[in-house]
Amino acid sequence: MVSVIFIPLLLAALWLGGGYLIAMFSLVSILGGLEYFTMMRAKGHRVAWIWLGLGTALFVALLIWRELDLVFAWVALLALILDAILDWDENTSVPRVFSISFGLLYTAVLPAMITRIGLDYIGQPILLSLVMMIWIVDSVAYFVGMSFGKHRNVTAVSPRKSLEGFLAGVFVPFLIVIILYFTKVDFLSGWLMALIAIAAGVFGQLGDLAESMLKRYCGVKDSSRLIPGHGGILDRVDSLLLAGSFLYCALKLFGMIECL
């Protein structure tokens, strides 16, 4: 039932943009942070819940004051150092700092980067196209892997994933881009669709493996039980987090996103 509600809300937020997009990814950041820090606490890291609030504040700050990115990074580092010093334990403090650092990046910075794309490209279905492409990649990679996958155990993080499925997921977005190009479907430019293909085909699948790495480390099957039969919010957006943040970096690299 939750997935039936969440998917239409996600698609609507991606299409409408603006405040709807901010609200959706704020929810992703908060729920994702809750799941992440819950897993870390269950693993034995003494992570204070205040970091969930600080992660949300970081997400919002990165959207409002873009020119202060490095300042926020320094403030976060200072807070982490103080946390370790004031609650020092030679066995747990440094691992806790690193677990918190990854959590802030994963559940606050990456959602903020994706939201920035939607705010900067108002009226262009970039994020919607990325999500649809990721879903296609996931479906094709799963089908090919289950039907033709012979080379498994490529990575110990996810032994069931096959090389054949991964390669199919890499190439199918480019096949779609080629078809769209020759059929003159140009709702987005060719170079932008190519970046989306790379984001979904390569980094989307790496994003799935990244979350599998976290779950394997914490010894859990799903990030939470939020969505019955589908796991938690991180299980639903793991591919998007890395694919979307890569796309932001690519656009930034090519000078397509301006700092306000």
**Inside any domain, residue 194:** yes
Question: Residue 22: helix, strand or coil by DSSP?
Answer: helix
User: What's the pLDDT at 3?
Assistant: 57
**Inside any domain, residue 259:** no
**Inside any domain, residue 89:** yes
Domain boundaries, position 153: 2-253
Count of alpha carbons within 13 Å of 137, Cβ hemisphere only?
30
Which stretch of 5-14, 19-28, 41-50 has the lowest confidence by average pLDDT?
A: 5-14
**Inside any domain, residue 260:** no
The pTM for the full model equals 0.91
Angstrom distance (rounded) from CA 242 to CA 132? 15
Task: Specify whether the CB–CB gap between 39 and 218 falls below 8 A.
Answer: yes
Token reading at 75: 């403030």
pLDDT digits over 211-243, tens only? Answer: 999 999 999 998 988 877 778 899 999 999 999
**Inside any domain, residue 246:** yes
**Inside any domain, residue 258:** no
* Residue 259 banded pLDDT, cuts 50, 70, 90: very low
**Inside any domain, residue 94:** yes
**Inside any domain, residue 231:** yes
The candidate with the shortest Cα–Cα distance to 74, out of 58, 59, 87, 63, is 58
